[in-house]
Amino acid sequence: MVEPFRTMTTSSDLRQHLILLQYPFPAVQPSPAELEGIMVRFGVWMDGLKQAGRVAATNGLENTGKILRGPIGQTVITDGPFAEGKEVVGGYVMLNPCTLDEALAVAGACPGLDNHMIVEVRPVVPPAHCVTS
């Protein structure tokens, strides 16, 4: 039997963490020169994480998508992700197993923080606590 999942992690729990990279919407867009500088800093940050073996997966997300709501058979599909959000998730970084403190240190070095980005760190529920077929 699977134990009930704890919703709070301790500083010694080793598990994957998801870093969500969000920006305020609507956001002031940087100039092309500013964007180039931002992307260089992100490249350096990501290269360092990859070289240290911290990254399990990463990618940017397009500003398009769909949102589904309602019970099966009566599902309503609307354009998204901007339907209701004040922040938009622009990308993610999935970290290899580490402690919450380590994940916070990684996220705290995200260069997007200097450009009004919101960086959220979420522990990933271990596979043993997920419903599988």
Q: Which of 49, 30, 31 is nearest to 92 (CA)?
A: 49
Whole-number Å distance between alpha carbons of 90 and 61: 5
Per-residue pLDDT of the chain (133 residues; tens, 9 = 90+): 444 444 455 556 899 999 999 987 766 778 899 889 999 999 999 999 999 999 999 999 888 888 889 999 999 998 876 655 677 788 999 999 999 999 999 999 999 999 888 999 999 988 777 776 5
Question: Which structural domains are found in the chain, ordered by start?
Answer: 15-125 (3.30.70.1060)
Residue 3 is predicted with a pLDDT of 46
85: Cβ contacts below 8 Å, ≥ 6 apart? 25
Q: What is the pTM of this model?
A: 0.80
